[in-house]
Amino acid sequence: MLPIDPHADIARRAWISCPRCLDDRDCTDCGTGRNCRDHWRYLLSTTGSVLHVQCPGCAHLWAHETHFGAGGRPSSL
């Protein structure tokens, strides 16, 4: 298992499912889109619409594409 990134900060969190351990699969709060007190991920950095996160439970690192803001700005007329 990987160690937790030394730059991980509990104050910077993201609430997305971990694709490896799926620890939030039976959580009522997570299932309804609420910010659960148990199933958060370290938000390590962002690049555009991509979040770089790590699961505190299994230490899995991954990039999560949010598609927020994807497509750029509309052209001006």
Domain presence at residue 26: yes
> How would you classify residue 71: left for phi > 0, otherwise alpha for psi between -120 and 50, otherwise beta?
left
The per-residue pLDDT for 73 is: 58
Domain presence at residue 36: yes
Q: What is the mean pLDDT of residues 25-35?
A: 93
What's the rounded Cα separation, in Å, for the pair 75 and 50? Answer: 23
Q: Residue 26 pLDDT more than 80?
A: yes
Phi then psi for residue 17, to 5 deg, are: -70, 140
The per-residue pLDDT for 2 is: 77
Domain presence at residue 71: no
Residue 38, domain extent: 13-65
Q: What is the mean pLDDT of residues 25-53?
A: 94
| DSSP-assigned letter for residue 64 | E
Instruction: Count other Cβ atoms within 10 Å, centred on residue 77.
Output: 3
Q: What is the mean pLDDT of residues 22-32?
A: 94
Domain presence at residue 8: no
